[in-house]
Amino acid sequence: MKPEVLQLSPILIPEINTRLNELFTVRRYFEQADKPAYLQAHGANIRGVITGGHTGISRAIMEQLPKLEVVAVNGVGTDAVDLAYARDRGIRVTATIGALTEDVADLAMGLLIGVCRGLCTGDRYVRSGQWPQSPTPLAPLPLARQVSGMRIGIVGMGRVGRAVAIRAAAFGCPISYTDLQPMSDVPYTFVAELKQLAADSDALILAAAADNAQAIIDARVLQALGKGGYLINVARGKLVNEADLVAALAAGDIAGAGLDVFVDEPNVPEALFANENVVLQPHRASATLQTRTRMGEMVVASLVDSFAGKIPQGCVTG
């Protein structure tokens, strides 16, 4: 008999879903209209859970799964999972650590280039038919900001931070960073204080692992970043005080921002919508076919290994 797995959020790769169905009896909780009744009917036999970083799994649901052995998170965020409760019960929690790194770093640089060079503004200008209407086509558009050679400050020199640094270095950018401590295996300049890093940077890129994050980017840091500075966030929305960011952009205290993550997703501050100095994305840094396939493969492997009594790759509960 195949192990029963409760799926709390969808996986978009058909090949991964086929593999899941071959190996397990998949109970698609996310499709059910009456979720409590579905859980009551099937919860007693569930040995594994598939969920996403946003969805996680509540303690209340885990308490209704007496045979639960593993929670496989299709993502890197585990702040929506009660890890302490999982550890107490001996439930393994896994994340797709490492699978997202290259795509997230790519998008960080894409956001920086997009906002500095006004790519979205230029795109809208062409699509709206305005270009032929101007006798001097470039006149209505402000001059852009060169990216090559910008002083880049990276918050968090983990996997993503290092991948961002490699990309930024290819643009001839001097790189500084802050983290809990200096890293002896990177050639970049360590700056202990976040405000000082902002003051020393033309662009501040947030790449920190930030489960249970607090708002570290506030008015004080944005003021230090300055009128020519850009904020890029591909980490967690909670790292930024959004009210302070909106105010800084409105006042011209910083030059612009590129944001993939927000405090209360999918709700984005409407004040950002009309600001041409902001590039927005709907939390999709990992949304490529290649990365989502790798993530799905890691989810499958986590379930297989756990049911075989092995500690799976990416286990965050020991």
Catalytic residues: 236, 265, 283
Handedness of CA 79, 81, 82, 85 (dihedral sign): negative
CA–CA dist 36, 61 (Å, integer)? 9
Contact 279, 259 (CB under 8 A): yes
Q: Please, which residues bridge with residue 315 across strands?
A: 94
**In this structure, are residues 254 and 230 in contact, taking their beta carbons and an 8 Å threshold?**
yes
Structure tokens at 242: 């959004």
Which residue is listed with tokens 């308490």?
63
Q: How many CA atoms lie within 13 A of 283 on its CB side?
A: 18
Query: How far, in whole angstroms, is CA 40 from its chain's centroid?
Result: 33
User: Which residues, at least 6 apart from 251, have a Cβ–Cβ distance to it below 8 Å?
Assistant: none
Q: Which two tokens stand for residue 138?
A: 């470039």
Of the candidates 95, 91, 37, 36, the residue with the CA atom closest to the CA atom of residue 68? 91
